[in-house]
Structure 1
Amino acid sequence: MLKILTINGARLHVEDQGEGPAILTLHGGLGLGSRQGDVAAFGVLASEGYRVVSYDQRGNGDSEAVAPYSHEQFIADTEELRQQLDLGKIILCGSSYGGFLALEYALKYPQNLAGIVLRDTAASNAYNDTAKKLALKSGLPGVDAEMLDRLFAGKTRSNEDFLQMYKAIQSLYFVTSDPEILEARLKGVKVHHETHNWAYANNIPTFNLVDRLKTIQVPMLVLCGRHDWITPLAASEEIAREVPNSRLVVFEHSGHSPQREEPEKFYREVRRFLAKAFSKAELK
């Protein structure tokens, strides 16, 4: 069910499906991402006894573009949404940039969590140079140092400029990719280059939670594709090494999206984690 809720002064588009213990998802790709990817990945769980809530964060997808786009604002929105929908203790699922925010939320609101699922993410900005080098090594048309520097510095010039950058690097996200499928995906993207620019110019330069990860006590499932270029496996290994109650699962035949490239294993691991985490938590 689609709901449009006013959260901290911004109208957000929210998909609220199913009944039961609540799973709240945080999409990645600020400025390009939306709830649609999370609905596709986690929506199936709404028919399996879970309540699945996915939403377009402010300045993304169909939601209203109301600055600021700081981590503080994003996690305040997550908490306000949790309260408005009366979700109780949740399992928070953060993908890519959404994983940055899930970690931030866990550090501020640990009492509200039954567990965390992270997919292809990082706890600091330390892997940006590695990602750039991997992208340059690919030799893809349109991928050069100047473009990557602007992308990672939050200096996209327009929605069209940002979209063309994403088009150039899109195949990097997968081990195997079909050009027709990639082109179809591009047509469905709603672009907000200002959101991306804010995040990468203001949030990412100081993003580093590594020294605080040991304080996260809730159960955590860390998922990562072996061939992820943008948040390399080393970033997930670091999180799993530092968070006491965590488990790392590596997808040997995936890039940044194991939910698409190895779905059977992805769902097997997620279902196992959800059942165990919710069984141990007081949900209200």
Structure 2
Amino acid sequence: MAELTTTVKMDDGVNLHVKLLGDDSTSTKKPLLVSLHGAPGLSTHLEPLASFGHLSNLFRVLVYDARGSGKSDHIGPFTHDRWIQDIENLRQWAGADTFVLAGASYGGFVALDYAVRHGDKLRGLILRDTWANGKVGAMAALANIVTSSRINPDIHRQVRVWSGTLYDDKDFEEAVAEILPFYTPPEDVVSPEDLPESTEFQETIKYHSATQNFAFSVNMPQFDVRDQLKDIKAPTLVVVGRHDYVTPVSYSEDIAKSIPNARLEIFEYSGHSPPSDEPAKFQEILLDYLKTIL
């Protein structure tokens, strides 16, 4: 498997940490798939790499740390406009006229905004555990967290996370640590896939509260694409875990109903991450969907 890890400079001089898989001598014959990670200021390219890296025999798979996250420059602006332009820059850098775009969690918000603005560039769209309305989504997630019987978080700290008013990186780290169990299925929900936990894509987590704060204090109040979903023409796969209380099933149902050519798949044994909770089923459904657009 050909693999390239490099730095790509954006039009404003910011450097992004990029990994491109499947880019060999026949790469011009392979379609491009770009996958966006979630959790701005926290997650990295390793999340989408674990979910989509196995497709490198069929696609050129491009994953990267968004600006403000991981090894990419922590230089703003951290707006959706800027993150969308970064996607456009990477598409052009990879030499693709059209491509498949995948977005997980917060990456799904950016993917939806991209699909609304640049739908002519998409041959496919994959949305995993996301929402289409920032105000309602963030407030509902906070409400579910503070009323959950599974965790006992510091309510004021969680308000700071979801309103984008974290004190500093340490505040961000403590906020994430106390709600991690909330993202997984309940203990009494057992997946039929008895697989060992993989550590292949794990790395030391670095917290960048400035990115998170901008995303949730500025971007989320402005993000609402519900009325524009009907204009998305790309064949769309919408994936969600039945036990996702951050971006609940109803949000994915509404998205799938509103996009004309959308397919909804609910994973009965998953929380916020079907690719890790039910990996075999996720890969099966993903390949079945991708066969229709290859």
- TM-score, normalised via structure 2 length: 0.89
Q: Is the 8 A contact 2:244 2:272 kept in 1?
A: yes
State the match for 1:11 in structure 2.
Answer: 15
The separation in 1 between residues aligned to 2:42 and 2:213, in whole angstroms, is 11
Check 1:271–1:200 CA distance in 2 against 1; reply closer, same or farther (3 A cut): same
For 1:135, give the aligned amino acid: I
What secondary structure does 1:121 align onto?
coil
What secondary structure does 1:3 align onto?
strand
Aligned counterpart for 2:86 among listed residues 77, 82, 85: 77
The separation in 2 between residues aligned to 1:248 and 1:32, in whole angstroms, is 28
5 Å-filtered alignment, 1:58-137, equals: 58-125=67-134, 126-137=136-147
The alpha carbon displacement at 1:141 in A equals 5.5
* CA deviation map 1:64-115 (0-9, x unaligned): 0111000000000000110011123110000000000111111111111101
Identical columns (%): 36
The separation in 2 between residues aligned to 1:76 and 1:41, in whole angstroms, is 24
For 1:212, give the aligned amino acid: Q
Aligned counterpart for 1:157 among listed residues 167, 173, 176: 167
The separation in 1 between residues aligned to 2:155 and 2:49, in whole angstroms, is 34
Task: Tell me whether 1:237 sits opposite 2:246 in the alignment.
Answer: no
The separation in 2 between residues aligned to 1:243 and 1:44, in whole angstroms, is 27
* CA deviation map 1:177-233 (0-9, x unaligned): 7xxx79x99962121110000111110012110011000111000000011111111
The separation in 1 between residues aligned to 2:103 and 2:230, in whole angstroms, is 18
Task: Tell me whether 1:41 sits opposite 2:79 in the alignment.
Answer: no
For 1:130, give the aligned amino acid: A
By percentage of residues, which structure has more helix? 1
Q: Is the 8 A contact 1:140 1:168 kept in 2?
A: no
* CA deviation map 1:35-89 (0-9, x unaligned): 011111111111x221100000101010001110000000000001100111231
For 1:208, give the aligned amino acid: D
Q: Is the 8 A contact 1:22 1:88 kept in 2?
A: no
What secondary structure does 1:59 align onto?
coil
State the match for 1:247 in structure 2.
Answer: 263
State the match for 1:50 in structure 2.
Answer: 59
For 2:255, give the aligned amino acid: I
The separation in 1 between residues aligned to 2:201 and 2:31, in whole angstroms, is 31
What secondary structure does 2:55 align onto?
helix
Aligned counterpart for 1:27 among listed residues 34, 37, 40: 37
Q: Is the 8 A contact 1:94 1:117 kept in 2?
A: yes
Q: Is the 8 A contact 1:93 1:116 kept in 2?
A: yes
* CA deviation map 1:219-278 (0-9, x unaligned): 000000011111111110110010000010000110000001111110111111112112
Task: Tell me whether 1:223 sits opposite 2:239 in the alignment.
Answer: yes
- TM-score, normalised via structure 1 length: 0.92
The separation in 2 between residues aligned to 1:257 and 1:130, in whole angstroms, is 18
Check 1:186–1:43 CA distance in 2 against 1; reply closer, same or farther (3 A cut): closer
The alpha carbon displacement at 1:139 in A equals 3.8
Gaps of 5+ in 1: 279-284
State the match for 1:190 in structure 2.
Answer: 206
Aligned counterpart for 1:258 among listed residues 271, 274, 282: 274
Q: Is the 8 A contact 1:127 1:232 kept in 2?
A: no
What secondary structure does 1:213 align onto?
helix
**Structure 1 consecutive aligned stretches of length 4 or more whose deviation exceeds 4 Å:** 184-187
The separation in 2 between residues aligned to 1:33 and 1:127, in whole angstroms, is 19
Check 1:269–1:158 CA distance in 2 against 1; reply closer, same or farther (3 A cut): same
State the match for 1:281 in structure 2.
Answer: none
Corresponding residue pairs, total: 274
The separation in 2 between residues aligned to 1:141 and 1:109, in whole angstroms, is 40
The separation in 1 between residues aligned to 2:142 and 2:202, in whole angstroms, is 22
Check 1:21–1:59 CA distance in 2 against 1; reply closer, same or farther (3 A cut): same
The separation in 2 between residues aligned to 1:106 and 1:143, in whole angstroms, is 35
The separation in 1 between residues aligned to 2:95 and 2:182, in whole angstroms, is 39
State the match for 2:223 in structure 1.
Answer: 207
The alpha carbon displacement at 1:142 in A equals 5.1
What secondary structure does 1:134 align onto?
helix
Check 1:185–1:149 CA distance in 2 against 1; reply closer, same or farther (3 A cut): farther
Check 1:205–1:273 CA distance in 2 against 1; reply closer, same or farther (3 A cut): same
